Structure 1
């Protein structure tokens, strides 16, 4: 029996300068008493904006939860209980990828509406119905598949532009893989992150990621260095967060993300998620003998994304550790099943060394 086409996306997506301080108008659609999650650094910078935005719309002063630890299942279950005990009627996550994963999982377990407000365009997770759970030591645990996507995503481009440039470049790495993984998933007749087949909309969004990066990526990085929020920057932020979010989730993941997850077992790997995905993509394209490999390598070089083990800081990695990474990669069974080109663990180790 053929799989049905399944598409998912956020209930509403808002992007523009200053939108974080105006989010109260959108949150009033969801409830009036928010459980707001920050990490310490984000809370110090943005708390006043958030409170003012709530009070401007006659919302209750939110319950703030400050947390800097890993996104583990035990932690999010306890937070969900706290949100319910405080009579909150919505969850708001403000921060980077880890904090948004926490907010998603808390909303899921507490059965509350969710708003996410990314403070960096470092990955494509904000729009997705997926929370990535980790073990206490920071290694990958599993994907928590949520019942629905966030009800609201608010992206303040002033906040994104103020984030470290490396984070936005890492987001380019995540978005760069979207098209190639979706293409592989479709060719393999695989399943997307909703458990269905990818449709035309997902593939169009995924292709738009690649085209946007080729057209705007280098210029956007240059403008961000100068502190300018140009049309190229706005397009890049939309690409990293919205287009890639829709593209990967409804299009499917493959080898690039499996490798990125496999690399998390190495304590010495300090790469950001999107940086690891960029490396994984190079390996995937070599395996597939894809004609776009040279263009991808050139783009990565121009914006500063790693394409080799040495550039990931793993130049001295042992053969045993590489085999362990390959073992961990193959545990991402759905992603590996979506890879159109078949590969063994030994071949994967060889490709990682050759990248």
Structure 2
């Protein structure tokens, strides 16, 4: 039996200050006219810094992102971008996923400039599609990774600390999920030519591990750069980990329980205000409980989370009341056959997930009480 292992990544990844001012220069190789899908808060900066970089016979038009990466939003931008040469996404994860999906359906090149280092969205060939009510819908597997990803370190240094921390939370899960997939030789997130998923590669797993080691070394120091809106080497290293290594490590190494539990958690109304990476972190803690990892490994993840200011418990995430039926639904969704829970190296049932969620939250609450940590 032939087993295909694979790695996927953007064609080009740049880390530099003030890349927004060079957007037109990096895009002109793809054509004359760019359609820019932008978060509303960055539109004025784009007009002032990016639009002047479209010189000569090049031009750009801005389309403002509506707030949700849904089929409705993607369709809106598909219509607007029909006559443009290439697509650019500028903003947070959902904005970038919308830009990638729009380019995918129109079969056009896509450039990505993240304003947050909070998810894997900038580099992957996947768009996470939500329903208009913010609940998870599906993973949309794209024909290719972004053509260019521009990590403007000054913009990323100015992101809210909470979003930076959420990126660390998402990045922390990369190694542990890839480890589970690699151990079991289950699927990564790369779609093969016949529609089947491919297997984790050694290089994908190694990048995932390097992502964790980089975060462990630099994230606690990097958070002070973000708090003061300055660029430091520690921040640059962490950005490379949370944007590139986390994405390539997850896509090529595979996801497992942490992200599946996150997807289940999207049905809990109280948690709609929580960031993707915050919920993924709780999913990671739950995965570690299901794996019965050594205490020092669990402790190390807690220490990193606390150092960057991440929430730990469900109450920290915004849960007002724990309702058993609601969390059993979370566990059921997390074990959906189309999600990544099946990548764990053992059979997982909704009952196991529910029990692990309850135990995880109790452990984290107890840890906070013993160490006098306040929300």
Counterpart secondary structure, 1:333: coil
Q: Structure 1 residue 268: deviation in Å?
A: 1.3
CA–CA separation in structure 1 for the residues paired with 2:154 and 2:222? 14
Q: Structure 1 residue 109: deviation in Å?
A: 0.8
Counterpart secondary structure, 2:282: helix
Give 2:314's aligned residue.
Answer: 309
Give 1:169's aligned residue.
Answer: 165
Q: Structure 1 residue 204: deviation in Å?
A: 1.1
Greater mean alpha carbon deviation, residues 162-171 or residues 192-201: 192-201
Give 1:183's aligned residue.
Answer: 179
CA–CA separation in structure 2 for the residues paired with 1:314 and 1:341? 30
**Deviations 1:185-241 (CA, angstroms, capped at 9, x unpaired):** 011211110121111110111001110111001011122223331100000001000
User: Do the aligned residues in 2 keep the contact of 1:27 with 1:115 (CA within 8 Å)?
Assistant: yes
- Over aligned residue pairs, what C-alpha RMSD do you find? 1.3
Give 1:142's aligned residue.
Answer: 138
CA–CA separation in structure 2 for the residues paired with 1:276 and 1:5? 29
Q: Structure 1 residue 315: deviation in Å?
A: 5.0
1:331 is aligned to 2:336: yes
Give 1:228's aligned residue.
Answer: 230
Give 1:88's aligned residue.
Answer: 84
CA–CA separation in structure 2 for the residues paired with 1:59 and 1:336? 50
CA–CA separation in structure 2 for the residues paired with 1:160 and 1:197? 33
Structure 2's unaligned 5+ residue stretches are 191-196, 361-375
- 1:1-355 counterparts in 2 under 5 A? 1-55=1-55, 58-84=56-82, 87-194=83-190, 195-269=197-271, 270-291=273-294, 292-331=297-336, 333-355=338-360
Q: Structure 1 residue 67: deviation in Å?
A: 2.5
CA–CA separation in structure 2 for the residues paired with 1:332 and 1:241? 28
The structure-2 alpha-carbon separation of the partners of 1:59 and 1:237, relative to structure 1 and needing over 3 Å to count, comes to farther
Greater mean alpha carbon deviation, residues 300-309 or residues 153-162: 300-309
Greater mean alpha carbon deviation, residues 201-210 or residues 297-306: 297-306
Structure 1's unaligned 5+ residue stretches are none
The structure-2 alpha-carbon separation of the partners of 1:332 and 1:71, relative to structure 1 and needing over 3 Å to count, comes to farther
User: Do the aligned residues in 1 keep the contact of 2:342 with 2:348 (CA within 8 Å)?
Assistant: no
User: Do the aligned residues in 2 keep the contact of 1:118 with 1:154 (CA within 8 Å)?
Assistant: yes
Counterpart secondary structure, 2:171: helix
Greater mean alpha carbon deviation, residues 343-352 or residues 249-258: 343-352
Aligned residues: 351
User: Do the aligned residues in 1 keep the contact of 2:222 with 2:232 (CA within 8 Å)?
Assistant: yes
Counterpart secondary structure, 1:284: helix
The structure-2 alpha-carbon separation of the partners of 1:287 and 1:252, relative to structure 1 and needing over 3 Å to count, comes to same
The TM-score, its normalising length taken from structure 1, stands at 0.96
Q: Structure 1 residue 77: deviation in Å?
A: 2.6
User: Do the aligned residues in 2 keep the contact of 1:117 with 1:153 (CA within 8 Å)?
Assistant: yes
Q: Structure 1 residue 45: deviation in Å?
A: 3.0
Greater mean alpha carbon deviation, residues 338-347 or residues 244-253: 338-347
CA–CA separation in structure 1 for the residues paired with 2:359 and 2:146? 39
